[in-house]
Amino acid sequence: MNFEKLKKAALKAGITDIEIYESASNGIEISMFNGVVENNTSAATKVCAIRGVYQNQIVTVYEENCDDEMIPSVIERIKDNCSIKNQKDPFFIYSGDKEYPKLKEKTHDFDAFTLEDKVNLCTKLTSLMKEKSPYVQMTEVSYSEEETTTTIVNSNGLDVKRHSRYAFLVAEAVCVKDGETKTGFDYIRLENIKDADINTLAQEAVDSAVSTFGADSIASGAYPVVLDKKVVSSLLGAFANVFSADAVLKNMSFLKDKVGEAVFGNNITLMDDPLSLDAPSQSAFDDEGVASYTKAVVENGVLKTYLHNLKTAAMMNVKSTGNGYKGGVQTSVGVQPSNLYLKAGDTSLEDMIAKVGNGVYITSVTGLYAGLNPVSGSFNLQSSGFMIENGIKTKPVTLIIVSGTLQELLNNVSAVGSDFEFKRGVGAPSLMIKSMAISGK
């Protein structure tokens, strides 16, 4: 949709401000079960969210056919919807920032590989999983690739565009031994297909199943614990909303009125870094067009800032932190972190396990969103992992529940791992915890 044509028609109709948020994407999806392709599809979409201000009211209309011929219909829908609104909350059509960070352009080799090559990659991964263990009975493999271009243009002068492209390769193995069935899973994000380490991916997926054969529960009690980096990332992701100013304003965060106070241990630093090259993706601006920047949310245990969009920033009389994001094109702007991560320390995972002596190594948790409370910070999660005996990881453990609060957890970290990793939009190292309550037998 030509913005100048839209703006001209909008101003003529009495619409004082107009903005287009356009997302154009295309991608492919390949899924394979036991070496047989079940799905091989490609799709391209373009969706526009068009915001307009009429008679001091603002509305958003959505259009999948973003052609110029839809302009009259869009104008009429904006006027009609504004006429029946009685909005009192502040709204913004952002005019943009003077400067935006320059992102390093990433190169990908996805186009150098044919669709057949990508199917063959899945076939090879399937074969590798079956080679890793005689207990592998079923396999599922998927390859997904997506390219997205997002453009925001408005009548106040904002004109920004970002581009992202990525691929994921997922491996799942179902293993059976002596009538016991276990499922293992892992995935990698690809920048270049030629660099895909599918041997390690296959090994990790199979090991995560086979290593848990014979797992049993343990006696309830308080144990020294090592939390695997994947578990730490999962917890941070599940609790990420507590750092949102929107949650604070709604009394939905235990961090309300805590800015400037020590909330976690002094070895805990949490960053929000939309520019991080270690993260899967980067962004120079949020979904309101506000420039992105690197910020410490918690520094040495002290809460430094909440995360803001334009609305929450105005309500708290501060500047937006550039965290105004949509859950999808056809949703309103909320507050979300962008590459939230816990800074790594200098202790290896092996050293943490050795230092624990006797305790539990937690490698997975389930029920994250049902088993936690952002208002109190409490969690109650079904978990599994391994016993640590005399400083060595030993027998597998399952059917246990770890309980506590995020505040207690991050105030009782005795060592921060060096094994940092980003998983999707959240990054963390493993953590050594002085004591955690575990319910078992």
pLDDT of residue 262: 98
60 vs 18, 96, 137, 204, 224, CA distance in Å?
10, 19, 50, 45, 52
| DSSP result, 223-259 | EEEEE-HHHHHHHHHHHGGGGBHHHHHTT--TTTT-T
Contact, 185 vs 211, CB < 8 A?
no
Q: What's the distance, CA 26 to chain centroid? A: 20
pLDDT of residue 423: 80
pLDDT of residue 90: 78
Retrieve residue 329's tokens: 């094109």
Mode of pairing for the β-strands spanning 180-190 and 221-227: unpaired
CA distance 424 to 422: 6
180 vs 60, 362, 387, CA distance in Å?
53, 21, 20
Q: Enumerate the β-bridge partners of residue 146.
A: 27, 166
CA distance 316 to 110: 45
Give pLDDT tens digits along the chain (441 positions): 899 999 999 999 999 999 999 999 999 999 999 999 999 999 999 999 999 999 989 999 999 988 899 999 999 999 999 888 777 777 889 999 999 999 988 889 999 999 999 999 999 999 999 999 999 999 999 999 999 999 999 999 999 999 999 999 999 999 999 999 999 999 999 999 999 999 999 999 999 999 999 999 999 999 999 999 999 999 999 999 999 999 999 999 999 999 999 999 999 999 999 999 888 889 999 999 999 999 999 999 999 999 999 999 999 999 999 999 999 898 999 999 999 999 999 999 999 999 999 999 999 999 888 888 988 999 999 999 999 999 999 999 999 999 999 999 999 999 999 999 998 789 999 999 999 999 998
CA distance 317 to 57: 22
| DSSP result, 188-220 | EEES-GGG--HHHHHHHHHHHHHTTTT-B----
Retrieve residue 5's tokens: 């044509």
Amino acid identity of residue 410, one-letter, is L
- Exposure string of 203-226, with b = 16+ CB inside 10 Å and e = fewer, is bbbbbbbbbbeebeebeeeebbbb
